[in-house]
């Protein structure tokens, strides 16, 4: 596919402006139109895009472009800086209680986002760090959800606690924590059922768990391919349940992943890890700067800026 | 609310807010379409087309403009007369798509629907990869009251399909429904595996009416277009099942897919129970697209 990168487009917009000293409002507007289109193509929320463009515009107007090679690079630099700023500048880890104290983690999200798989992935990660995780099967709805968790738990060599489908998730969660304490586990990860952010009963189920079990980390699992709805979803989970961190899954696909930016903007919570495949080892660190280039569709952005 | 029956309200509020057709009016429509996940290309071409029609027909009233817009999208989304032909034939339906979109659930729902029509249905559990995929489909087979073949983790999916075809023939089944493992469309080897399954069906069951449905998650954004393109290359897709429309996602990317690739949406998923699968209705779909909450409008000037 002949894909003209955003970089090329911006260079084109500014081709005739070399002689000018400072970026005018008009120059900037023309360039930012391209940026706006790129962000929308990447599925960044319409509202987030508007706000982002406004911020960049304010910063870009009046910038001295003779300092750099081209005005295009000046704009790219500002765009990238703002983007990385929005994405969070550092990588983050799940914070754990020291020693034998039990950390309780609850995985939440829409149906099919990747919660159960990611639960097992995290367990493997923590196990290799010397922790002893216990997985709790709190999805009593999806056919074979418990079995799925058990198979994955076994693959990771970690215990899975389940009480079948006949108990309320809050009671399963409570019993799991007791089980962990008795068996020397120091992390409990609750795998909950997928649910819609607008399903009141199901959202209340999570609230009930939070009220009765001391959850230290609530992790929202989001499919990286999510479109404009990401803001509604993340906003509602944050508002109703409270979110401490986000995991983006299925980034091994070719999506630009603009949802990452929307979710950051809406929740302000860090993205902890990214899912990079179906294998239980496919969980990677999240790098805000790489995500920024991916969303903008410019892998070469960093080298370009270095030159500027 | 688990159905889309109560969605007809929203559209009027948008068009009634304007007394004339100006740039602001078009901007508003553009915003709604983009927020519905139609993407820039489809949105731009719809707006351009609308502008032309408005000009040609000398339309001044936003309400009339609304009718034009809705009608053109509906026309675009029409499923065609032979869309459900497989219901009247001895047929095989291959269900494919990326991970977690709702393939297995949709197979279960579809099995229930066909069984209700008095048909003999066989399911092929050709997802031999994901943990407990076979158990999951088995539970759906029980719910629907239909037969299931395969389901051993690690088995060759093409071999499962082969066995299922033989069983369908032996049992004189009306419909064979094949569930497959989720696969991202950019994974070469997994797409090859799919082609192999497709070839087995072609070779072993030549007299069956073929239907290949790609399942798309209604929450997915622009990537769904890439998915449809790649799956179309691997197998001859005849329709889309658009799932998870019981949330707030609009699934507008299906409009872009239809206009670019000509693949119609045949079913929509509106929940997790066996009854939550509906035949596609362009009317409802387009109305829901414009059903936006207007209290959010103030904060973006
Ligand atoms: N390619 C890829 N697939 C993934 C990734 N994470 C999860 N999956 C797949 O996505 C599908 C859904 O994953 P699950 O873990 O069952 O998702 P879930 O959120 O628990 O689903 P529900 O419990 O039904 O809500 C499965 O096919 C997983 O193998 C990832 O990072 N990359
Ligand atoms: N709300 C809602 N949930 C759905 C719908 N269709 C499927 N789901 C849920 O989405 C999740 C994933 O569904 P599956 O049928 O397992 O998806 P799949 O495509 O077979 O997943 P893999 O085989 O892992 O790739 C499950 O929790 C389903 O209950 C729908 O129309 N609405
Ligand atoms: Mg699950
Ligand atoms: Mg499945």
ipTM (interface predicted TM): 0.94
Please indicate whether, in this complex, the C-beta atoms of B219 and A223 are within 8 angstroms of each other.
Answer: yes
Q: What is the mean pLDDT of chain A?
A: 89
In this complex, the residue of A43, A198, A254 whose CB is nearest that of residue B247 is A198
List pLDDT tens digits, range A93-121: 899 999 899 999 999 999 999 999 999 99
pLDDT at A62 over 80: no
Rounded to 5 degrees, what angle do the CA atoms A106, A112, A116 make? 40
Nearest CA in chain A to B247: A196
Name the DSSP class of A1.
-
Q: List A284's β-bridge partners, or say none.
A: A274
Whether residue B157 has its Cβ less than 6 Å from ligand 2: no
Spacing, Cα B105 to ligand 2 middle (Å): 5
Q: Render each residue's pLDDT in chain B as its tens digit; 301 residues.
A: 333 433 334 455 566 677 788 898 899 899 999 999 999 999 999 999 999 999 999 998 888 888 889 888 998 898 888 899 999 999 999 999 999 999 999 999 999 999 999 999 999 999 999 999 999 999 999 999 999 999 788 999 999 999 999 999 999 999 999 999 999 999 999 999 999 999 999 999 999 999 999 999 999 999 999 999 999 999 999 999 999 999 999 999 999 999 999 999 999 999 999 999 999 999 899 988 887 644 443 344 3
Q: How many CB atoms lie within 10 A of CB A169?
A: 25
User: Which residue, chain included where needed, has tokens 């104290």?
Assistant: A101
In this complex, the residue of B99, B132, B186 whose CB is nearest that of residue A278 is B99
B297 touching chain A per CB within 8 A = no
B141 touching chain A per CB within 8 A = no
The band of A25, judged by pLDDT with boundaries at 50, 70 and 90, is: confident
pLDDT value at residue B58 = 92
Token pair in block for residue B207: 């007299």
Around ion ligand 4, residues with a beta carbon closer than 5 Å are B 103-104
Please indicate whether, in this complex, the C-beta atoms of B250 and A229 are within 8 angstroms of each other.
Answer: yes
Q: How many CB atoms lie within 10 A of CB B139?
A: 18
Please indicate whether, in this complex, the C-beta atoms of A112 and B99 are within 8 angstroms of each other.
Answer: yes
Percent with pLDDT over 90 in chain A: 68
In this complex, the residue of B99, B102, B136 whose CB is nearest that of residue A143 is B136
Q: Cα separation of A232 and B33, whole Å?
A: 16
pLDDT at A240 over 80: yes
Question: What's the Cα-to-Cα distance from A43 to each of A26, A197, A297, B150, B194, rounded to whole Å?
Answer: 26, 19, 12, 38, 28
Please indicate whether, in this complex, the C-beta atoms of A278 and B129 are within 8 angstroms of each other.
Answer: yes
Which atom of ligand 1 is closest in space to residue A139's alpha carbon? 23
A47 touching chain B per CB within 8 A = yes
In this complex, the residue of B133, B186, B248 whose CB is nearest that of residue A232 is B248
pLDDT at A3 over 70: no
CB B34 within 8 A of CB B27: no
Residue A64's contacts (CB-CB under 8 Å, 6 or more residues apart) are A21, A22
Q: Give chain A's end-to-end CA distance (angstroms, integer).
A: 28
Question: Residue B124: exposed, middle, or buried by beta-carbon count in 10 A (0-12, 13-18, 19+)?
Answer: buried
Q: Which range among A36-40, A301-305, B11-15 shows the weakest confidence by mean pLDDT?
A: A301-305
In this complex, the residue of B99, B135, B247 whose CB is nearest that of residue A144 is B135
CB A220 within 8 A of CB A247: yes
CB B120 within 8 A of CB B173: yes
pLDDT value at residue B36 = 95
Radius of gyration of chain B, Cα coordinates, nearest whole angstrom: 21
User: Which residue, chain included where needed, has tokens 């304490």?
Assistant: A181
Q: Cα separation of A78 and A88, whole Å?
A: 15
Which mutation among A108, A115, A117, A233 tests ligand 1's pocket best, with the greatest number of atoms within 8 A of CB? A117
Chain B residues touching residue A43 (CB < 8 angstroms): 37, 221-223
Spacing, Cα B136 to ligand 3 middle (Å): 12
Question: What's the Cα-to-Cα distance from B240 to each of A221, B77, B210, rounded to whole Å?
Answer: 26, 12, 14
Token pair in block for residue A262: 């929307």
Chain A residues touching residue B129 (CB < 8 angstroms): 278
Chain A residues touching residue B253 (CB < 8 angstroms): 227
pLDDT at A44 over 60: yes
The β-bridge relationship of strands A159-161 and B277-279 is unpaired
Whether residue A249 has its Cβ less than 6 Å from ligand 1: yes
Chain A residues touching residue B248 (CB < 8 angstroms): 197-198, 229, 232-233
pLDDT at A18 over 70: no
pTM for the model stands at 0.94
Q: In terms of pLDDT, which residue wins out, A7 or A155?
A: A155
Question: Residue A162: exposed, middle, or buried by beta-carbon count in 10 A (0-12, 13-18, 19+)?
Answer: buried
pLDDT at A156 over 70: yes
Interface of B with A in 180-219 (CB under 8 A): 182, 184-187, 217, 219
A276 touching chain B per CB within 8 A = no
Interface of A with B in 72-131 (CB under 8 A): 110-114
Instruction: Tell me the nearest-neighbour CA distance from B31 into chain A, angstroms.
Output: 7
Spacing, Cα B109 to ligand 2 middle (Å): 11
Closest of A83, A84, A149, A150 to residue A117, by C-alpha = A149
Q: In terms of pLDDT, which residue wins out, A207 or A74?
A: A207
Q: Cα separation of A102 and B15, whole Å?
A: 56
Q: Cα separation of A61 and B187, whole Å?
A: 43
Q: In terms of pLDDT, which residue wins out, A11 or B175?
A: B175
């Amino acid at each position: 596919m002949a894909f003209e990168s955003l970089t090329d487009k911006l260079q084109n917009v500014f081709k005739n402006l070399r002689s000018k000293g400072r970026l005018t409002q008009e120059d900037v507007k023309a360039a930012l139109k391209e940026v706006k289109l790129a962000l929308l193509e990447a599925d960044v929320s319409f509202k987030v895009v508007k706000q982002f463009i406004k911020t960049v515009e304010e910063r870009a107007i009046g910038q001295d472009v003779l300092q750099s090679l081209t005005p295009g690079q000046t704009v790219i630099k500002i765009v990238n800086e703002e983007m990385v700023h929005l994405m969070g500048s550092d990588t983050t880890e799940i914070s754990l209680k020291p020693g034998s104290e039990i950390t309780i983690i609850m995985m939440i999200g829409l149906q099919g986002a990747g919660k159960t798989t990611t639960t097992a992935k995290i367990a493997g990660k923590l196990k290799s760090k010397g922790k002893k995780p216990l997985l709790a099967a709190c999805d009593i709805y999806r056919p074979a959800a418990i079995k799925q968790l058990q198979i994955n738990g076994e693959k990771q060599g970690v215990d899975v606690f389940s009480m079948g489908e006949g108990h309320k998730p809050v009671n399963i969660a409570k019993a799991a924590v007791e089980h962990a304490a008795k068996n020397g586990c120091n992390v409990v990860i609750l795998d909950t059922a997928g649910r819609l952010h607008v399903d009141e009963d199901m959202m209340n189920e999570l609230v009930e768990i939070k009220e009765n079990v001391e959850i230290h980390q609530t992790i929202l699992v989001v499919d990286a391919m999510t479109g404009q709805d990401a803001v509604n979803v993340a906003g509602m989970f944050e508002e109703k349940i409270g979110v401490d961190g986000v995991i983006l899954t299925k980034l091994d696909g070719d999506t630009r992943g603009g949802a990452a930016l929307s979710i950051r903007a809406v929740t302000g919570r860090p993205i902890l890890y990214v899912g990079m495949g179906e294998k239980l080892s496919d969980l990677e660190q999240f790098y805000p700067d790489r995500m920024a280039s991916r969303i903008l569709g410019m892998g070469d952005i960093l080298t370009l800026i270095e030159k500027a | 609310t688990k159905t889309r029956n109560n969605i007809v309200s929203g559209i009027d509020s948008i068009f009634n807010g304007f007394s004339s057709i100006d740039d602001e009016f078009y901007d508003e429509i553009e915003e709604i379409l983009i927020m519905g996940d139609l993407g820039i290309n489809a949105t731009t071409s719809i707006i351009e087309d609308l502008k032309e029609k408005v000009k040609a027909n000398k339309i001044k009233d936003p309400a009339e403009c609304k009718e034009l817009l809705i009608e053109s999208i509906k026309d675009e989304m029409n499923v065609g007369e032979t869309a459900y032909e497989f219901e009247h034939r001895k047929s095989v339906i291959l269900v494919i798509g990326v991970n977690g979109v709702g393939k297995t659930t949709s197979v279960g729902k579809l099995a229930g629907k066909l069984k209700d029509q008095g048909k003999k249905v066989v399911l092929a559990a050709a997802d031999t990869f994901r943990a407990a995929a076979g158990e999951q489909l088995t539970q759906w087979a029980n719910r629907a009251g239909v037969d299931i073949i395969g389901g051993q983790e690690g088995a060759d999916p093409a071999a499962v399909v082969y066995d299922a075809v033989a069983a369908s023939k032996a049992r004189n089944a009306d419909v064979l429904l094949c569930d497959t493992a989720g696969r991202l469309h950019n994974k070469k080897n997994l797409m090859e595996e799919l082609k192999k399954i497709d070839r087995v069906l072609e070779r072993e069951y030549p007299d069956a009416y073929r239907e290949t449905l790609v399942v798309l998650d209604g929450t997915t954004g622009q990537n769904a277009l890439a998915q449809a393109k790649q799956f179309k290359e691997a197998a001859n897709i005849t329709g889309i099942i658009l799932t998870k429309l019981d949330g707030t996602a609009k699934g507008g990317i299906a409009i872009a897919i239809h206009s670019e690739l000509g693949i119609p949406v045949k079913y929509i998923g509106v929940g997790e129970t066996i009854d939550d699968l509906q035949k596609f209705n362009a009317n409802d779909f387009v109305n829901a697209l414009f059903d936006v909450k207007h209290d959010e409008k103030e904060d973006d000037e």
